[in-house]
């Protein structure tokens, strides 16, 4: 083991020792790490299948992408479950998985002075902004990333966050640094130190916005991320360690057609300029997730026979309805899923379309979505505050060239510590989704993302 490895191995061991005597409960001191009155950030939101994504593969068909979306959604759900039900107070809960399969959106940033480009995940299910740093031991995945690994020793603006570490994590007393550790289940983890650094965002007009003294995790020891192509995670969860809370309490993202690789108009805004417009509904934050109050579902204007109590989160945190940026499909409690599927199936069966078996989704048909479901009734999700989310066919079905599938599946473990329903990204298409954490409200606004900052 080299000197760098031994040094950080010592710090890692110290982390677990000090975790017993250092609280990681978020306090006001952690929220004050970054100066207030910071400018808002506007940057391009890159879908993983977009032509501007390093993941883009022109040979992948629409059917291939649909199949991949199903598998990624399953992977995302599985690891969110593991992260939620298996974490301890030594870990900061995160939605990260040990590969790129369960992520949908990415952003390009630069960090340090001089700025070093970084390709990172955008994730509303992660509560910390962290990147890989040199020296890095373990499975750092450097050969797979489109951007170089950040070397803090070469940055003039890098500053380790010193002890005391109230609200962050244990202190490495030898180096006078605050440590972080994120465990993801299955032996996958990221360990490092907190630091402050300049972060550069490139806007749509190619101008640069530089934010100084941003709190982030500098990951020096990575395990289980062998094939991980992103350099880290831009966490937008409801925690002072996320970028959202450091830049105020608002963010918004605009999602276009995720099935079209040529649609490159997605946008992310963090800060007071975030577009929190349109119809509002209550936003609750629990265990690092964003929860909505779903009251019911209608099909063609007819309310389905669903008890609204099934959408409520229990006192011990079970169930509820999460809105997530990392899952494509929508997952519903089976007591809501079954009546919805019955209505969808009855309508499509009347069109005499041939059923197609698909091991990933329960309801698939041979046909062309844009032609065969022209008269499909609108499905409406009714949220608290009188906010209705009206869903067309592209927001309900995965389009796979010569067949299509209902992009909704059931939650089978509602009586477990997880058991939550999830509103996936396919239902967030053609919308600007705004989060106001201070006011505890979320907005849906139908919008062509190309016109947002035209």
**Could you tell me if 294 and 145 lie in one domain?**
no
Q: Which of 270, 304, 328 is the last residue of a domain?
A: 270
The residues, any chain, with a CB within 8 Å of residue 50's CB and separated by 6 or more, are 56, 261, 263, 264, 266
What is the share, in percent, of the chain residues with pLDDT greater than 70?
80
Query: In which residue are the tokens 């996958």 written?
Result: 188
The neighbour count for residue 127, using CB atoms within 10 Å, is 26
The rounded distance, in Å, linking the Cα atoms of 334 and 341 is 10
**Could you tell me if 391 and 423 lie in one domain?**
yes
Residue 272 structure tokens: 């007071």
Which pLDDT band, with edges at 50, 70 and 90, does 452 fall under?
Answer: confident
Mean pLDDT over the full length of the chain = 83
178, pLDDT greater than 80: yes
Instruction: Quote the pTM value.
Output: 0.86
Instruction: Tell me how many domains the chain contains.
Output: 2
Q: Which of 222, 239, 270 is the last residue of a domain?
A: 270
Q: Which of 270, 288, 313 is the last residue of a domain?
A: 270
The rounded distance, in Å, linking the Cα atoms of 277 and 159 is 37
Residue 221 structure tokens: 């020891």
Q: Which domain holds residue 179?
A: 3-270
Tell whether the torsion through CA atoms of 33, 285, 225 and 67 is positive or negative: negative
**Could you tell me if 238 and 349 lie in one domain?**
no
**Could you tell me if 71 and 193 lie in one domain?**
yes
Which pLDDT band, with edges at 50, 70 and 90, does 330 fall under?
Answer: very high
Higher pLDDT, 31 or 116: 116
């Amino acid at each position: 083991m080299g000197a760098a490895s031994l040094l950080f191995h010592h710090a890692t061991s110290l982390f677990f020792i000090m975790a017993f005597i250092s609280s990681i409960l978020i306090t006001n001191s952690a929220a004050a790490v970054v100066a207030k009155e910071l400018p808002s950030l506007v940057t391009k939101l890159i879908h993983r299948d977009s032509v501007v994504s390093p993941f883009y593969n022109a040979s992948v068909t629409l059917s291939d992408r649909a199949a991949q979306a199903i598998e990624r959604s399953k992977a995302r759900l599985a690891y969110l479950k593991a992260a939620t039900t298996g974490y301890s107070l030594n870990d900061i809960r995160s939605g990260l998985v040990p590969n790129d399969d369960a992520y949908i959106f990415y952003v390009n940033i630069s960090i340090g002075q001089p700025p070093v480009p970084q390709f990172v995940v955008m994730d509303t299910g992660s509560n910390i902004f962290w990147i890989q740093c040199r020296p890095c031991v373990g499975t750092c995945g450097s050969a797979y990333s489109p951007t170089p690994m950040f070397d803090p020793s070469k940055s003039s603006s890098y500053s380790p966050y010193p002890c005391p570490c109230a609200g962050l994590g244990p202190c490495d007393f030898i180096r006078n640094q605050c440590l972080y550790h994120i465990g993801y289940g299955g032996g996958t983890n990221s360990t490092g130190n907190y630091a402050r650094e300049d972060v550069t965002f490139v806007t749509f007009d190619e101008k640069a916005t530089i934010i100084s003294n941003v709190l982030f995790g500098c990951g020096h020891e990575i395990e289980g991320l062998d094939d991980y192509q992103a350099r880290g995670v831009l966490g937008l969860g409801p925690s002072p360690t996320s970028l959202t809370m450091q830049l105020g309490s608002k963010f918004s993202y605009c999602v276009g057609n995720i099935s079209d690789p040529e649609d490159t108009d997605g946008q992310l805004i963090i800060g007071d300029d975030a577009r929190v417009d349109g119809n509002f509904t209550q936003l609750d934050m629990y265990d690092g997730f964003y929860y909505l109050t779903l009251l019911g579902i209608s099909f063609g204007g007819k309310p389905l026979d669903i008890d609204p109590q099934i959408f409520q989160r229990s006192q011990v945190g079970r169930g509820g309805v999460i809105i997530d940026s990392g899952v494509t499909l929508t997952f519903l409690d089976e007591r809501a899923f079954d009546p919805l599927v019955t209505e969808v199936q009855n309508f499509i069966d009347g069109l005499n379309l041939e059923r197609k078996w698909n091991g990933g989704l329960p309801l698939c048909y041979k046909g062309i979505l844009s032609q065969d479901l022209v008269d499909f009734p609108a499905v409406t999700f009714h949220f608290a505050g009188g906010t209705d989310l009206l869903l067309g066919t592209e927001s309900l079905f995965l389009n796979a060239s010569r067949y299509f599938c209902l992009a909704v599946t059931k939650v089978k473990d509602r009586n477990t510590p997880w058991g939550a329903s999830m509103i996936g990204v396919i239902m967030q298409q053609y919308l600007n989704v705004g989060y106001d954490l201070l006011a505890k409200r979320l907005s849906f606004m139908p919008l062509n993302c190309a016109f947002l900052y035209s």
